[in-house]
Amino acid sequence: MSIEYLENNMEPYFKTMQRKYTGPVFDAHTHLGKVEDVRTMVKYEEEFNVKKIFGIVRDTESRDKIKKEFPDLFVYSIFPFYKRSFTR
């Protein structure tokens, strides 16, 4: 998702959206990709007062990069690639 898309489509929505609950939030299911994309996602998560995120990653390398930048924000789960998990 590009920054231009977000600014043109998401920003107006977030600025006018009214929420009934404004307390702390736990995001219980988020797929994580590149750190650059996670940075953008975190910007919007902060708008909703998200304090902790359950992040699903593909490998430990991705997790480690994200964890370095956001050390206390995520609880991680690694989604296995089944093709690599089994041998014949």
Q: How confident is the model at residue 12 (pLDDT cuts 50, 70, 90)?
A: confident
Q: How far apart are the first and last CA of the chain?
A: 38
Overall number of domains in the chain: 1
Which domain covers residue 64, as residue numbers? 24-83
Q: Is residue 75 part of a domain?
A: yes
Q: Label residue 49 left, alpha or beta by phi (over 0 means left) and psi (-120 to 50 means alpha).
A: left
Flag whether pLDDT at 1 surpasses 60: no
Q: Does the reported pTM lie above 0.85?
A: no
In tens, the pLDDT along 33-88 reads 999 999 999 988 998 899 999 999 999 999 999 999 999 999 999 987 666 555 55
Q: Is residue 3 part of a domain?
A: no
